[in-house]
Structure 1
Amino acid sequence: MRGKHLSAVLVTTAAALFTTAATAQEVILKVSHMWPTTALGHQQLVPWCDKIAAESNNRMKCQIYPAMQIGGTPTQVFQQVVDGIADIGWTLPGYNSGRFPSVEVFELPFMSHKAETTSRALWEYYEKYGQKDFAQVKPLAFHVHDNGQAHNSKRPIQTMEDFKGLKMRAPTRLTNKMLAEMGASPVGMPMPAVVEAVSKGVIDGYLLPWEIVPSMKLHELTRYHSETAATEPALYSAVFVVAMNKAKYDSLPADLKQVIDANSGIELSARLGRAWDDSAAPSREVAIRNGNQFNTIPASETSKWRGIGDKIAAEWVTEVTAKGYPGQAMLDEARKLVEKHRAQ
């Protein structure tokens, strides 16, 4: 009996030691994104990785692959996360057109006034309407960028007629629809392709937030910058998602899961949105120093454009309703949440 008791103690002790060793084993998270290391996205990711390393006592660390160094293209980032090629990826759902109808509502024209508050609204909206679309991953954050503006190499855009004949890049399906309604020729392409497209004359300009412009040196290629009035909602916004491979998350011990959970969700979403808001003025200053030309599109003009936004929103409701989503309820909820967080 004494021998059996001793054997049981040894087995229990060995199991405990094995569990402790497994728990203490260092976890390396492969993190993939499309931006260069000079871009705001990468610069926001580094302190996030430092924070989860510190809070896990360096048991969980990131190995970051910027500018698609992990392989593939920007349009493949989400699937790389699903497949486990990357443990965490940061991308635009809109790069996979039609795959994520729920959050596309935040890419409708004139939805956002400020990235921080809209990103809070977006996370809250996801919890109600987006979980089915993103069931293959564990979302860590959803956010939008600072207000998108119109930049081109041909002329100032002061009225809708000024869009006519311009070949303009936009990042999302709905923004392409808006450009077509305004008379431009929309050209869809991932962000990394824009610099070459502008320099070779494939496109005349693009819709982008300010942060991207100097990081890609686009202010050296496009002279004219047309901005909506501060009192008006953004011409457009694009949705970003930071997503984690579900199996990787599920494999973590409980305390490391808590570290991830404490550093994700609505507060991370808001922090990322705020970083984009804060980036707009210094990024714009780079174009000012370059001697570029600026103009503000008056609110009286953009109020006419908002009719196009309403038309595209109605078409979006019809499209997603046909796919089995409660389209009108989703649009109403998104608008309500944007206003709720603006007022707080």
Structure 2
Amino acid sequence: MSRHFPAFAVAFAMLCSPVAAQEHLIFATASPSEGPISTVIFNDWAARINDDGAGIVEIDVRHGFTMANPANFYDRVKDGVVPITWGIMTTIGGRFPLTGMAELPFLSDDAETASVAFWRLYEEGHLDAEYHDIVPLFLTAFPQSGVHLSSPLASLDDLAGARVIAGSQTNSQVIQALGGLPQSINPADAYEAIQRGTADGRFVPWTAFPPFRMEEVTNYHIEAPIGTAIGMVFMNRDIWDDLPPEARDVIMRHSGEAQSRLLGQFFDAQNDGIRARVSNMDGHEIVAPDAQQSAQWETWLAPVTESWLERTEGGAALLERFTLLLEEAAAD
């Protein structure tokens, strides 16, 4: 009889012990439900986690702007109102100066390489000082932004005083250094500003065209690697720390570098597809500085990088490391 007692005791203990509750995490995407990033990236990511983590963790995707939007997404997670969200980190003025390095001109060419390099930079701990309230799950560096105007320039020697909507301090410095007049206008109001003629254009990547209908109000598109931004899916740190280790393991199996690479690939494909579509539209012209003009632009924009280095503690070492990581990611 004593030989069977341990097995009986174990079974009895299992029946009497409370079953661990499945973790339920709301992911407020701050993106339209029908948007490609929602349908292709966010839904798939959550589905993989929910399948792998059945009984352990569930990601409850909530699209739209009800629970979080592009203006408040960071505070909603920081304050614990929602556990997970998505947004463009460099639109949050002053909070992410190190992350703002991605906005510097002439750093990268494609989103995939830059996304992988930036994730590795984060994973090495170089950005910990500004991520103390959040835990990045995966991220992307967007494709390079271009200058999209409502009418052509006489030449690309400079922007000839064009009034260009720019999204950050570094973006504004880029536009000003190229001879334009930067304007600070909410992205949601950009269409109307250009349509009414209070702005001449906007500094954004091609991927911003569908949600903001930029092809309806701009027709002259200047391409050059003069800056990008970082987008990120991230989680409230306290909520993350309270998760059981097995829940965190499930989430990260489908996040991290692999998911960052996937998101970069997604945006590269989106960028190419949108560019091709706009190039085939009547009345649209896509141009780029020639070799001589590009050299001049690099000279004009060098002070933008110098300004970032001067105001960013540890910026020189960070930029040097990121440059090396870009080279390594490109060679993968």
Q: Write the deviation string for residues 123-166 of structure 1: whole angstroms up to 9, x where unpaired.
A: 111233101210111111232111212211021474142x1221
1:159 alignment counterpart: 156
SS of the residue corresponding to residue 29 of structure 1 reads: strand
Contact 1:158 1:296 in 2 (8 A): no
- 1:333 aligned to 2:321? yes
CA RMSD of aligned residues (A): 2.4
Contact 2:30 2:85 in 1 (8 A): no
User: Can you give the 5+ residue segments of structure 2 that lack an aligned partner in the other structure?
Assistant: 1-8
Alignment match of 1:181 (pick from 164, 177, 181): 177
2:303 alignment counterpart: 311
Change (3 A) 1:105 1:51: same
Change (3 A) 1:39 1:170: farther
1:85 alignment counterpart: 81
2:141 alignment counterpart: 144
Counterparts of 1:307 and 1:118, CA distance in 2? 23
Counterparts of 1:152 and 1:67, CA distance in 2? 29
Contact 2:103 2:170 in 1 (8 A): yes
Cα offset for 1:175?
1.1
- 1:342 aligned to 2:330? yes
1:252 alignment counterpart: 243
SS of the residue corresponding to residue 132 of structure 2 reads: coil
Kindly indicate which of the two structures has a greater share of residues assigned to helix.
Answer: 1
Alignment match of 2:93 (pick from 90, 97, 103): 97
Cα offset for 1:264?
1.7
2:46 alignment counterpart: 49
2:67 alignment counterpart: 70
Q: Write the deviation string for residues 246-267 of structure 1: whole angstroms up to 9, x where unpaired.
A: 2322333332211111122122
- 1:221 aligned to 2:231? no
Change (3 A) 1:28 1:137: same
**Taking structure 1 as the reference length, what is the TM-score of the superposition?**
0.85
Counterparts of 1:164 and 1:33, CA distance in 2? 39
Matched pairs, number: 322
Change (3 A) 1:152 1:241: same
Cα offset for 1:305?
1.0
Contact 2:90 2:99 in 1 (8 A): no
- 1:197 aligned to 2:189? no
1:295 alignment counterpart: 287
Q: Write the deviation string for residues 67-97 of structure 1: whole angstroms up to 9, x where unpaired.
A: 42215x5232112111111211111221222
Cα offset for 1:334?
1.6
Alignment match of 2:206 (pick from 191, 205, 210): 210
Cα offset for 1:309?
2.9
Cα offset for 1:237?
0.7
Change (3 A) 1:255 1:81: same
User: Which letter does structure 1 place at the counterpart of 2:72?
Assistant: Q
2:57 alignment counterpart: 60
SS of the residue corresponding to residue 190 of structure 2 reads: helix
Change (3 A) 1:295 1:9: closer
Counterparts of 2:34 and 2:241, CA distance in 1? 32
Change (3 A) 1:262 1:13: closer
**% same residue:** 24
Alignment match of 2:260 (pick from 248, 255, 269): 269
Contact 1:214 1:286 in 2 (8 A): no
Alignment match of 2:25 (pick from 29, 46, 51): 29
Counterparts of 2:27 and 2:93, CA distance in 1? 23
Cα offset for 1:10?
10
- 1:133 aligned to 2:130? yes
SS of the residue corresponding to residue 218 of structure 2 reads: coil
Cα offset for 1:12?
4.2
Counterparts of 2:78 and 2:180, CA distance in 1? 36
Q: Write the deviation string for residues 88-133 of structure 1: whole angstroms up to 9, x where unpaired.
A: 1111221222211212112111111111011111111123310121
**Taking structure 2 as the reference length, what is the TM-score of the superposition?**
0.88
SS of the residue corresponding to residue 125 of structure 1 reads: helix
> Which consecutive aligned stretches of 4+ in structure 1 deviate over 6 angstroms post-superposition?
8-11
Counterparts of 1:338 and 1:158, CA distance in 2? 32
Cα offset for 1:14?
5.8
1:4 alignment counterpart: none
SS of the residue corresponding to residue 74 of structure 1 reads: coil
Counterparts of 1:241 and 1:282, CA distance in 2? 22
Contact 1:158 1:295 in 2 (8 A): no
Change (3 A) 1:160 1:142: farther
